[in-house]
C-alpha cells in the first residue's frame, strides 16, 4: 500500500505545553483587543472580562470553545470530483494571495489587473498540482475596491470548478460572497450543510483584530463557512525577537479568533493559520524566505494538531524580487517544510515574490513544478507485492535490463514524477534551444492559457449569478 510519509515534529511535548501555558497567561493577563463592537458583545454575553475593547479570556473557556471546532471537514466544489478534505493527513496547495503587483519576465514591476487575476485563476484551474484556485490571487488595481470582491469571486466561479476562497473584508462583502456561493451550490441551506467557501481572517499583530476582519469572521461563522484564523507576527518588530515568544503571541491571536467563531456558531470549521516570520533588522522589512519562517510554519502545524484543528501555513515563499535562483531555493525550502511537517492548507504555493507583495507568471510555473515534486515526495513509496517486484527481478536476473519489461511499462507512469518544466535532455538536445527555466516557464504559462477552456457553468445558474452581481454593483456605486 502507498505509505504517506509520517509528519515530523520540531517541538517536544514539553515545548508545546510551554507555548500553551504562556498563551493562556497572555490571554488572561494581557488580553486581546477587538475593535468591532458586535464581537465585544459576544464575549460579554459569554462571561468574559471586557475593558473597553480589550477582552481578557478565562482559560477554561478558551479550551472549551476551541475543542468545539472540528478536526477536519469537507470543502465542496461545484464539481464534486474536486471536493477537498481539510485536516488529517491531507495537504491542499493553492496560489499566492493578496499581492498588489506583477513582476514581469523583463524584471519590471507593474500594478496587477483583473486580467491578471483571471489568468492566475485559469492557471490554477489547469494545474494538476494545485488543488484550489485560492482566494485573492492578486489585488486587481483596475477595479474599484467597493466592487472588487464581486469581480474576484466571479472569476473563481466561471474560470474553474475547483474550490475557492472569498472575501473577508467586512460583514457586507463577506455576506455578498456567501450569497453568491449559495446560488452556485443551490441555496444557503445547502452550503450550511455542505460548506463550499473559505476565507482568510488576519489579526493585527500584536494582539488585535480590526473591524474589517471581524465583520467577515462573524458573517462566515453565522453561515458555518470555514475560515482560516491567521496571525502574521514579525519577530523583532510586531512580536518578540525570540521565536518562542513570537509563537506565543501568534498562538494567542489565533486562539482568540477561533474562540470567537465557536461562540457565534459552535462547530464552525476553522483552520489554525500562520504567516509569521522575522523582521530583517538591516532593512526593517518582513522577510519570509528564511529558515525561521519555516520553523514558525512547522511549529504551527504541530500546535494545530495539539488543539485538534487543521493548519494553514505558507509554501513557495521568497524575498526575491524576480524568479531567480534565490526564489527557487527559498520556495523549495518553505514548501517542503510546510508539507513534511503536516500543514493542511498551504496558501502561497505558487507565484509569490517579494515577501507577499508581488506575483510572477514565471514563478507560478516554477512553483507549480515544485508543488508536483513535493507532492510526489510526501506520497512516499508503495510496498504492495507487485511494487516489490520480485517476479520481474527474478526474470531479468543478473546483468539484464528492465526497459522492455511489462512491469516497467505499467509502473513508470505512476511511480515516476514527470516534470512539465524541468529540462532532462542531454546537453546536445538542450543546446539546440538553450532555454533556461525562466524562458521555459514563460512558454509554459502562455501555452496553458492559450489551450485552457474553463469548465462549463449551468446557464441558469450563471444568469442568476450575473443578475446578483449587477444588482449589487449598482447598489454599491450609488
On whether both 245 and 353 belong to a single domain, the answer is: yes
Q: Using CA atoms, how far apart are residues 270 and 388, in angstroms rounded to an integer? A: 41
pLDDT for 478: 75
pLDDT in tens, 190-202: 999 999 999 999 9
Return the H-helix or E-strand segment holding 413. Answer: helix 406-415
For 174, list phi and psi in degrees, rounded to 5.
-60, -40
pLDDT for 2: 44
What CATH number has the domain bearing residue 263?
3.20.20.480
| Residues 162, 173 contacting (CB under 8 angstroms) | no
pLDDT for 435: 85
* Count of the separate structural domains present in the chain: 2
Name the nearest CA neighbour of 219 among 272, 182, 183, 256.
Answer: 182
On whether both 159 and 143 belong to a single domain, the answer is: yes
pLDDT in tens, 92-108: 999 999 999 999 988 89
Classified as helix, coil or strand, 229 is strand
End-to-end Cα spacing for the chain: 60
On whether both 258 and 404 belong to a single domain, the answer is: no
On whether both 275 and 401 belong to a single domain, the answer is: no
For residue 1, is pLDDT > 60? Answer: no
On whether both 377 and 400 belong to a single domain, the answer is: no
For residue 377, is pLDDT > 80? Answer: yes
Mean confidence (pLDDT) of the chain: 96
pLDDT for 429: 80
Q: Using CA atoms, how far apart are residues 311 and 305, in angstroms rounded to an integer? A: 8
Mean pLDDT of 301-327: 97
pLDDT for 425: 86
On whether both 406 and 292 belong to a single domain, the answer is: no
Domain termination residue (choose one: 395, 415, 435): 415
- Distance from the Cα of residue 227 to its chain's centroid: 11
On whether both 291 and 338 belong to a single domain, the answer is: yes
pLDDT for 358: 97
Q: Give residue 4's pLDDT band: very low, low, confident or very high (50, 70, 90).
A: confident
Q: What share of the chain has pLDDT > 70, as a percent?
A: 99
For residue 471, is pLDDT > 50? Answer: yes
3-class secondary structure per residue, 195-228: CCCEEEEECCCCCEECHHHHHHHHHHHHCCCCEE
On whether both 324 and 227 belong to a single domain, the answer is: yes
Q: Using CA atoms, how far apart are residues 408 and 391, in angstroms rounded to an integer? A: 12
On whether both 98 and 219 belong to a single domain, the answer is: yes
On whether both 391 and 427 belong to a single domain, the answer is: no
Q: What is the DSSP letter of 93?
A: E
On whether both 403 and 432 belong to a single domain, the answer is: no
pLDDT for 3: 60
Q: What is this structure's pTM? A: 0.96
Domain containing 153: what range?
1-381+419-478
pLDDT for 430: 81
Mean pLDDT of 208-232: 98
On whether both 318 and 254 belong to a single domain, the answer is: yes
Classified as helix, coil or strand, 65 is helix
Amino acid at each position: 500500500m502507498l505509505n504517506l510519509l509520517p509528519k515530523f515534529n520540531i517541538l517536544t511535548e514539553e515545548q508545546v505545553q510551554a507555548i500553551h501555558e504562556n498563551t493562556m497567561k497572555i490571554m488572561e493577563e494581557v488580553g486581546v483587543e477587538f475593535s468591532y463592537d458586535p464581537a465585544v458583545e459576544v464575549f460579554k454575553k459569554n462571561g468574559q472580562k471586557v475593558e473597553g475593547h480589550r477582552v481578557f479570556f478565562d482559560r477554561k473557556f478558551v479550551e472549551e470553545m476551541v475543542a468545539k471546532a472540528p478536526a477536519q471537514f469537507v470543502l465542496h466544489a461545484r464539481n464534486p470530483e474536486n471536493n477537498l478534505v481539510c485536516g488529517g493527513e491531507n495537504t491542499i496547495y493553492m496560489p499566492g494571495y493578496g499581492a498588489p503587483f506583477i513582476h514581469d519576465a523583463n524584471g519590471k514591476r507593474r500594478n496587477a489587473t483583473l486580467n491578471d487575476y483571471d489568468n492566475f485563476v485559469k492557471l490554477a484551474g489547469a494545474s494538476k498540482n494545485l488543488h484550489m484556485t485560492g482566494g485573492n490571487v492578486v489585488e486587481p488595481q483596475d477595479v474599484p475596491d467597493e466592487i472588487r470582491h464581486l469581480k474576484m469571486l466571479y472569476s473563481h466561479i466561471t474560470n474553474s470548478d475547483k474550490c475557492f476562497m472569498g472575501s473577508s473584508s467586512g460583514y457586507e462583502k463577506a455576506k455578498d460572497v456567501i450569497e453568491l456561493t449559495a446560488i452556485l451550490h443551490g441555496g444557503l441551506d445547502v452550503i450550511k450543510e455542505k460548506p463550499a467557501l473559505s476565507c482568510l481572517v488576519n489579526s493585527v499583530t500584536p494582539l488585535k483584530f480590526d473591524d474589517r476582519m471581524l465583520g467577515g469572521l462573524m458573517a462566515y461563522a453565522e453561515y458555518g463557512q470555514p475560515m482560516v484564523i491567521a496571525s502574521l507576527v514579525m519577530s523583532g518588530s510586531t512580536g518578540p525577537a525570540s521565536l518562542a515568544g513570537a509563537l506565543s503571541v501568534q498562538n494567542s491571536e489565533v486562539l482568540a479568533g477561533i474562540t470567537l467563531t465557536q461562540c457565534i456558531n459552535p462547530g464552525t470549521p476553522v483552520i489554525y493559520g500562520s504567516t509569521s516570520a522575522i523582521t530583517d533588522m538591516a532593512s526593517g522589512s518582513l522577510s519570509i524566505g528564511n529558515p525561521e519562517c519555516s520553523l514558525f510554519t512547522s511549529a504551527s502545524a504541530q500546535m494545530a494538531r495539539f488543539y485538534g484543528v487543521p493548519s494553514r501555513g505558507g509554501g513557495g515563499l521568497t524575498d526575491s524580487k524576480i524568479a531567480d535562483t534565490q526564489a527557487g531555493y527559498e520556495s523549495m525550502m518553505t514548501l517542503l517544510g510546510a508539507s513534511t511537517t503536516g500543514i493542511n492548507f498551504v496558501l502561497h504555493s505558487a507565484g509569490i515574490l517579494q515577501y507577499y507583495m508581488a506575483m510572477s507568471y514565471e514563478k507560478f510555473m516554477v512553483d507549480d513544478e515544485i508543488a508536483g515534486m513535493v507532492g510526489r515526495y510526501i506520497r512516499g513509496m508503495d510496498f504492495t507485492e507487485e511494487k516489490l517486484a520480485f517476479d520481474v527481478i527474478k526474470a531479468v536476473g543478473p546483468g539484464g535490463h528492465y526497459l522492455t519489461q511489462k512491469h516497467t511499462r505499467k509502473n513508470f507512469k505512476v511511480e515516476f514524477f514527470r516534470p512539465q518544466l524541468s529540462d532532462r535532455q542531454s546537453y546536445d538536445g538542450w543546446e539546440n534551444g538553450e532555454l533556461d527555466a525562466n524562458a521555459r516557464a514563460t512558454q509554459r504559462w502562455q501555452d496553458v492559457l492559450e489551450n485552457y477552456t474553463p469548465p462549463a457553468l449551468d446557464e441558469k445558474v450563471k444568469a442568476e449569478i450575473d443578475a446578483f452581481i449587477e444588482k449589487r454593483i449598482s447598489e454599491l456605486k450609488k
